[in-house]
């Protein structure tokens, strides 16, 4: 469980050749600024407080609040995305939603004219119009002829309505400009 910001990692080796262990040690040694907060957080995640520990109740309350908030945000964002013309999205399983977008032919043609994939054009235009950064699905090896984008569900709950309204506004304008309401394809 966690949100972006603190990052940590661990590795456990079994039966590793000595030269591999030596190279890993060398790699770890060149790190001039160890990620102490991330490693502390990782330690807590690997061995959280247990019932009877002084910190258990607070840890359990905070963990429950974070997980419930992530669930509410995921449901709200997924619901909003599914309400957009040509968009389908299942509930996110992590910290992201990955909606599929069916784009009008004119949008696909415009992207090709610009030398972009259609999802890249959509994401760039969304960023320019709203300031919301998303990641085009083409960077994830999506099925040819389908278009997706990835967006985070980590928007603060207090800002979620604004986030949803901005994506909704942009998408409606995009579809009006490129011919939504019919004439869809998902092929180049």
Tens-digit pLDDT profile for the chain (188 aa)? 444 556 667 788 899 999 999 988 887 777 666 677 777 878 888 899 999 999 999 999 999 998 899 889 999 999 999 999 999 998 766 688 999 999 999 999 999 999 999 999 999 999 999 999 999 998 888 888 889 999 988 888 899 999 999 999 999 999 999 986 544 443 33
Task: Tell me which residue of 10, 93, 4, 81 sits closest to 44, measured CA to CA.
Answer: 10
Query: How many Å apart are CA 147 and CA 88, to the nearest integer?
Result: 11
Query: How many Å apart are CA 7 and CA 163, to the nearest integer?
Result: 25
β pairing state of 87-88 and 100-101: antiparallel
Partners of 152 in the beta sheet? Answer: 96
pLDDT at 8: 65
Find the helix or strand (DSSP H, E) in which 113 lies.
Answer: helix 105-114
Instruction: Decide: residue 167, CB within 10 A, 0-12 exposed, 13-18 middle, 19+ buried.
Output: buried
Find the helix or strand (DSSP H, E) in which 73 lies.
Answer: helix 56-82
pLDDT at 95: 82
Q: Report all structural domains of the chain as residue ranges with CATH numbers, in order of start.
A: 59-178 (3.90.1150.10)
Q: pTM (2 decimals)?
A: 0.73
Instruction: Decide: residue 4, CB within 10 A, 0-12 exposed, 13-18 middle, 19+ buried.
Output: exposed
């Amino acid at each position: 469980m966690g949100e972006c910001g603190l990052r940590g990692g661990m590795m456990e080796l079994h039966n590793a050749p000595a030269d591999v262990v030596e190279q890993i040690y060398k790699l770890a040694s060149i790190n001039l600024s160890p990620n102490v907060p991330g490693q502390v957080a990782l330690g807590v995640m690997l061995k959280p407080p247990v019932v009877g520990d002084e910190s258990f109740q607070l840890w359990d309350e905070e963990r429950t609040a974070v997980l419930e908030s992530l669930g509410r945000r995921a449901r709200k964002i997924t619901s909003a995305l599914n309400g957009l013309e040509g968009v389908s999205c299942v509930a996110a399983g992590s910290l992201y939603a990955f909606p599929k977008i069916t784009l009008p032919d004119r949008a696909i043609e415009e992207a090709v004219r610009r030398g972009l994939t259609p999802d890249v054009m959509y994401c760039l235009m969304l960023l320019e119009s709203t300031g919301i950064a998303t990641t085009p699905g083409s960077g994830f090896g999506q099925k040819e002829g389908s278009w997706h984008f990835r967006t985070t569900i980590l928007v603060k709950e207090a800002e979620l309505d604004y986030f949803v309204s901005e994506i909704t506004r942009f998408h409606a304008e995009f579809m009006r400009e490129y011919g939504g309401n019919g004439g869809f394809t998902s092929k180049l």
